[in-house]
Amino acid sequence: MPSPDRHATLASRNAHKARELERLLPGWAIEPLVADDWPAETGDTYEANARIKAVFGREVLGPDATVIGEDSGLEVDALGGRPGIYSARYAPEGAPAIAKLLGELDGVDARDARYVSELVCLTPEGELRGSGTLTGRIAREARGHEGFGYDPVFVPDGERETVAELGDAWKERNSHRARAARALLAALAMTLLVAGCGGTDKTGIRVLRRFFAAGPVARKLGTRFPHKPGTLPCTVDDSGTTVQATCATDISLVKPDKAVVTLTEAWNHGAKAHTWFFFIRRDGSVQSVVQEGSPSPVTTTTSH
């Protein structure tokens, strides 16, 4: 198994979250923080509480550590958004918290709810953030055995099963924490782009050529994106309507042997955009990919 590219500490006593986050961040090794005298979560938002935890972790481990603070919660419309930022203190995790929630919703038909997750990552270079939300509804009884927290009673939109029934593999792709992790990776990609060697570097152009020849996904995207840093006009099919767009390529070289290729389609005068962040090796092979923005158009053709 390859060595992780980054090591970080999750400022949480919840080992479940540390293991889940490690699976959601390709190339990262995540360990839970071992500490005493944890600070009170006095923030009035998930972000504020996540930052409180991350700052505490830096105080314990020192300024050179990479620390992630995470705060998440379940918001139920019929309860005025409760338990929200107080989810972890609503009742003891697991069966007691679920029993209390179902008791409060006894006889209530409107059961819309959402999971929310906020990640704040403090690195020696600065702060990164990622937010994620999963909407759904509260079931009338607990079902399933995977996941943790309120997963046995949370049914995501478009599904009939609870998260605990859908399983960990589904959760790693679709959960609120998975979405926050993808946003965090995208933020990391942007910092690497800013800190990289820039698009005019001849080595970067050679790496791009290898990337577009490296695999079926890259080759397919290579039919519409330029093979060197820059932008080309293109057309996209957006909900059955063909519209003018731009297809842009950029690259950042991350020493010693990593790179980030960024491909962006923008249309509707820039109001809509879809971006791929490919984390690659210098030989063009893909380690991982993050997608952000509007849904990718169904079909795309280039005009070059």
Distance CA 28, CA 81 (A): 33
Distance CA 175, CA 179 (A): 6
Alpha carbon separation from 148 to 29, 78, 194, 263 (Å, rounded): 21, 22, 38, 36
Q: Please give the structure tokens belonging to residue 275.
A: 């971006």
Distance CA 266, CA 216 (A): 23
Distance CA 7, CA 183 (A): 18
**Whether residue 71 lies in the annotated active site:** yes
Nearest to 183 by CA among 2, 9, 299, 21: 21
Alpha carbon separation from 60 to 63, 64, 229, 261 (Å, rounded): 9, 11, 42, 35
Residue burial 81-91, b: 16+ Cβ < 10 Å; e: rest:
ebbbbebbebe
Active-site pick, 37, 71, 77, 238: 71
Measured in degrees and rounded to the nearest 5, phi and psi for residue 171 equal -65, -40
H-run or E-run covering 46: helix 46-61
Bridge partners (DSSP) of residue 301 are 235
- The residues annotated as belonging to the active site are 71
